[in-house]
Structure 1
Amino acid sequence: MNLYIKNLRFLFLSLALIFSACETEESIQITSPEPMLLLQEPGISNVFLNFGTPTNAAITISWNDDLTGSSSYDIEMSLDPELTTITNLGSVSTKSYTINVEDLNKAIRNAGATNFSDVAIYLRINAGSATSNVVQYLVTTYPVDAPVILSPLANDAFVLSLGMADDTAITIEWSDAVLSSTLGVDVNYTIQASAPGTDFAAPVTIGNSTNETTLTSTHSDFNAVAIGIGLVAETAGNMDIRIIAEITNSNGNTLERISEITSISVTPYLTSFPNLFMVGDATTPGWDNNNNNTPMFRNQDVPNAYVFTGYFKAGAFKLLETKGQWQPQWGTNDGSSLAVNPGGGSDPGTFNVASAGYYTYNMTTVRESGSYTVTSYDATSATNYNTMGIIGQAIGGWGDGDEVNFTQDPNNPHLWYALAVNFTNGEEFLIRANDMWNDVWRHTGSTELYGKALLAGSGNNFPFTKPTGSYNVWFNDLDGSYLIIAN
């Protein structure tokens, strides 16, 4: 009997539990999440924009859209958390977006960011009438705005004077927002001059500075710059000035920003510049400073501009102003600018030639400095002449027997010279190849004893307007350069 009662109790308890469970199950309500346009939070929110990798991805964002079903999404950016001012970075049909370094940097700078480090940007997605949540990044940007020249002003005039050679002739001032920022980088400035309207095809450096926004130049130095761009002495001429700002990062990448051009008027004074002679194992005379040393040729329109196109052996060389003397001595200490020991100082480094071959060196001296470039030259199609000579009444007559033959350089078949040639003032001459009149080089207007001759069947003879006497003559058949040096 007791067992029966216990079984009944167990049965009633089980039924109670079953009914209770059913009531509980009926009270459960299953709800779905609210549909949303959700922009994913970034894993890394600090972004450094490296100007050395402008096309690399800067930021990639992605989102979920259970709300709109849209096929077009706008990516919006703002510099304030309320997004009162919006910049549209782009539109996509997918649910992810990537922007590269250069484009993001430009967007932030154009949006009006006043600093460069840790610029807070706020991003969201816009799909028609719906917008996503906002995510924040802290971005370190780089400058894109160029320096601004404050002085001189456009059309300012400068008259240079030999009597004030060491006085300041011009002060150039500029502004650059980078220097007042927290980027903590060095900015190297190069201040250049150029002939007007040439787009700085052949610039001359006025000077350099680092983290400074002022540069001065003396009458002497600025006169050399003016002559170097081709201005005529004692005549007012126009000069274009610009500033190049360079920042180099730890990877060796360089960011360059170039200012707008300011045009001024400059009147240089008359001065003279020396011939320069090569010495070094890359050249024919070797390291002997008095061995018929090869000269640099000269620009007939720019007296402090020197040029030489020809063959160089692997090695090095320097330039001397006087054969037989080691100073004044020109070279380079950095591979791009000229340096000189005028005497009593330290000699500059060498111009280095890594591989033997044909090269063109262009140099412009500016007092005790200057600039130069070197480029490879393709001489494979150049004509090789058997002989070269100078002929004309200026050296004795127009007959074949009057011709003075040049000596061919043993290392450079296109370089010729004739020593101790007697010239007569007021007479004329020509340069010709192979003792014939088929290949003749003619005068192109130089008023000096140097310039560039023109290979032409007809044209002007060279006038000899200097004093009668003995001269050495150098000629380069690759480009027609010639140089006549008094003994």
Structure 2
Amino acid sequence: MKNIIKSIFASLVVALLFVACTDDADRDWTTPEASFKLYNTTLGSNVLYETMKSNPFVLTWDKTGSSNYTVVYSTTEDFATKITLGTATTNTFTTTIGDINSKFLQAGLSPYASNTVYVRVEAGSEISNAITFGVTPYPIAGPIVTAPTAGSTLVLNSADQTATATTVTWNDYSSYGVDVKYLVEVAKTGTTSFASIGEVTNVKSLAVTNKDLNTAVVNTGATINAPNNIDVRVTATTTSTGGSIVLKSAVVTFKVTPYQVDYPNFFLVGAASAAGWDAAGSINLYKHDNISEIYTYLQPDEFRFLGQADWNPINYSMDADGIRASYKYFKTVSSNVVKGAGTNDIENMKFTGAAGIYKVVIDADFGVKSLTVSSTTVSWDIPNLYLAGSIQGWNAATALPFQPKGNGVFESDPLQIPNGAEFKFLGQQDWTGKEWGNIHAAGNTGFLGPNGDNNNIKFDGGDNFYIITVDLKKGTYKLVKL
């Protein structure tokens, strides 16, 4: 009997040893057991905002007696790759939301996207339990321009303006949880007047044509047909519940040689216009870069464009392909412009809309013309016209009246106008109705723009007496010194 009992006891011992060995084999000996408790985070919101960056972030744990605690975090539960969040000499760790936001981004977390992080405290060979929470960081660093490279050179090609001159590229966060708009700008080195060359959303490159880059570079004051130091930068803008964050890249300086573009002039003539068929009195459109435009009176009838205030040498007309001159043509036209009378290559254009003031726009870019006639903006038949501005004050109730001369022409009494004076024209003695100012350019002879598309007229001349003449039908004004 004793031998039987001994045999049973020995079998039990072997079985226990086998189970123990099996448990040891299954245990993850690379992750030690928690030996003290880390309490949950004081983070009030899992979504971080820039306005929270100075707010405190506090962790506490129940272990005392150690003089060296290290707070670590990981994006995986096993802490296979861990990053130090900070250290402490007591059982409390305090930092800021801005600090942990930066460290989360450095670990590769995406801004505006929810990420899971694991945090624990280490004290020598001992560790705390891990706490986990979701966190959505905000971006703090701007893009990094990678092309063009600093010191590189670029000669723009005037022969092929539609071709890509360069592609601006940049690095940024691997991804965003919201849309990010990138604005690409250039400026002449030494100035702060940046000009846009394009904007994209959620991509990190922008192809720029010879034309667009040339226009922007020239507008920064660059010298034509000579290498200029040009700064390029990229601005990233994101918007979330916490507001908008705008982050700019450092500038990269490269050399650009722009070219001169000689765009043609356009003169409106014809029965549809206020000028009639008198070429000498044709209406010269305001030209700025590739765009020529004017607000002018049109009525249902025929018209055409001239290249000068004469019938020769350039005379634009319409054929089956569009509006044609001897060397260039309008590729597209407005729906309210059709072919008029004539044969072969001498057809007039015909305006079919209702009579009124229209914005006429011609795009002369790339050697291909397009004509746009906007919808009616205001009636030209204004019975009265008034002057408001710095000459007598901006109070519309005391605006100075003009004398109507008929056919949309108004003339002021002699006025003493000091240098630098600014003013506008009103169709009534208040600011709630018709308003006329200068489109784009300032000057003593200019082009009128109606409500919403005008600037103050800025007088540039001596302190003398002038008569101001306004021609609403032609869309022009002029100051004549007495």
TM-score normalized with structure 2 length: 0.47
Instruction: Tell me the TM-score normalised to structure 1 length.
Output: 0.47
